[in-house]
Amino acid sequence: MPLRIDGPHRRYNPLLDEWVLTSPGRLDRPWQGQTEPSTPGARPAYDPECYLCPGNRRAGGAENPRYDGTFAFDNDFPALGRLTVGARPPTDGMLRADPVSGHCRVLCFSPRHDATLATMAPPEVRATVDAWCTETERAAAREAIRYVQVFENRGDLMGCSNPHPHCQIWAVDHVPSVPSRKLAAQGAYHDAHGSDLLGDYLEVELAEGERIVLTNDGWVALVPFWAIWPFEVMVLPRRAVGGLVELDEDDRRSLAEIVAELTARYDALFACEFPYSMGWHGRPAGGHADPAWRLHAVYYPPLLRSATIRKFLVGYEMTAEPQRDLTAEEAATRLRETPGRGAGPGARDS
Ligand code: H2U
């Protein structure tokens, strides 16, 4: 029996050991606050001013090759670098700071300035999936790297600096805060149950069905029970794989299909280029396969009720705990019923 909860309640997120206050029915309240500009007009296929278009000069002075597929390069303004010998900050006490080093890359999905994952042809989305995997593998093989984060900021609302379709890959010499909490939670769950947390969670979701957005032979896209962002989605492999580097040919094919379909539905939901931050959470780099950790992607889109009204994580959310109005079940229903690429309304499988 699907879980039915009416009225305000809190939901537990076992991956991050935190709660979200859920207040169904608050979406009808009046809004006289900020609205966002709607999606800008159509972009050209090539923009002579774009730092990422083929053949153009980047801000750092390097010239892009005339690439015709995906294109990755070292970030000209990296957030991380080599550890400066002799500049080691204090590592304990009240004022704690640890040294950090790493490597930052930028990956363009397409030579076309106007392309997006939502509209790119299936072979191009597949090439992007392959590049996520190869870039992760290369980054993880670098000396002293402990964790690789692939992430995409899409849209001005999410602070994306350029509409040319791209993502970033940051490889670091430590496990950062969020994956570190996920590492602890999945490890503790595996110790206690002998199975993986997200695998067991996926079984519950598939049995209930209410929060499922899309499924195919390799992957499931769902709105997590504990979602914070209105149309937050998690993409999970059916198979117990720990990282992008472990995906085989079939996994990659079906992943490209579900990513293409999910992003198309996002865009169709409010008839705009749906902004989001997405990221891949794979097991830390190095070492052996970890049966506790299941690879997953998280999509965090800020839009709430239209292309111009966003959710703000402020007030109670900043000072006490995240809160949402639209339930995860309502969000999943909306996304499920939104027509995607060629799939009619209500179609479930990508
Ligand atoms: P965002 O749009 O998500 O900010 O990513 C763009 C990245 O591209 C950003 O990290 C880099 C920025 O440093 N970049 C270059 O490396 N070279 C450039 O010429 C422009 C932008």
* pLDDT number for residue 348: 40
Locate the ligand 1 atom nearest the alpha carbon of residue 78 and give its number.
13
Binned at pLDDT 50, 70 and 90, residue 91 comes out as low
Is 166 part of the annotated catalytic residue set? Answer: yes
pTM of the entire structure?
0.93
CB 183 within 8 A of CB 293: yes
Percentage above 70 pLDDT, the chain: 89
Binned at pLDDT 50, 70 and 90, residue 344 comes out as very low
Residue type, 153: N
- Residue 105 Cα, ligand 1 centroid: separation in angstroms? 9
* pLDDT number for residue 349: 43
Q: HSE-up of 322 (CA within 13 Å, CB side)? A: 18
Reported as type and span, the H/E element at residue 183 is: helix 177-193
Q: With 90 as the cut, is the pLDDT of residue 97 above it?
A: no
The pLDDT tens digits of the residues spanning 167-205 come to 999 999 999 999 999 999 999 999 999 999 999 999 999
In angstroms and rounded to an integer, the radius of gyration of the C-alpha atoms of the chain is 20
Q: With 90 as the cut, is the pLDDT of residue 108 above it?
A: yes
Count CB neighbours of 226 within 10 A: 22
The pLDDT tens digits of the residues spanning 288-323 come to 789 999 999 999 999 988 888 888 888 999 999 999
Binned at pLDDT 50, 70 and 90, residue 49 comes out as very high
- Residue 14 Cα, ligand 1 centroid: separation in angstroms? 34
* φ and ψ at residue 248, rounded to 5 degrees: -95, 180
Q: With 90 as the cut, is the pLDDT of residue 38 above it?
A: no
Indicate if ligand 1 lies below 6 Å from the C-beta of 60. yes
Q: Find all residues with CB under 8 Å of 333, minimum gap 6, and list them.
A: 210
Indicate if ligand 1 lies below 6 Å from the C-beta of 239. no
Of 163, 158, 206, 171, residue with least CA distance to 82:
171
- Residue 78 Cα, ligand 1 centroid: separation in angstroms? 9
Tell me which of 229 and 288 has the higher pLDDT: 229
* φ and ψ at residue 296, rounded to 5 degrees: -160, 155
Indicate if ligand 1 lies below 6 Å from the C-beta of 63. no
Rounded average pLDDT over 256-282: 96
Locate the ligand 1 atom nearest the alpha carbon of residue 58 and give its number.
19
Tell me which of 37 and 18 has the higher pLDDT: 18
Indicate if ligand 1 lies below 6 Å from the C-beta of 77. yes
Ordered by where they begin, the domains of the chain are 44-82+98-337 (3.30.428.10)
Distance, CA of 144 to CA of 122 (rounded, Å): 36
Residue type, 305: R
CB 126 within 8 A of CB 252: yes
**Residue 211 DSSP symbol:** T
101-136 in b/e form (b: 16+ CB < 10 A) is bbbbbbbbbbbbbebbbbbbeeebbbbbbbbbbebb
Least confident of 53-67, 89-103, 108-122, 291-305: 89-103
Q: 166, 190, 281, 296: which one is catalytic?
A: 166
Rounded average pLDDT over 21-37: 72
Distance, CA of 66 to CA of 93 (rounded, Å): 52
Rounded average pLDDT over 105-126: 97
Binned at pLDDT 50, 70 and 90, residue 346 comes out as very low
Distance, CA of 223 to CA of 328 (rounded, Å): 6
* DSSP 3-state of 218: coil
Indicate if ligand 1 lies below 6 Å from the C-beta of 107. no
Q: With 90 as the cut, is the pLDDT of residue 72 above it?
A: yes
Write the CA distances from 59 to 63, 77, 101, 105, 187, integer angstroms.
9, 9, 23, 15, 43
- Residue 77 Cα, ligand 1 centroid: separation in angstroms? 7
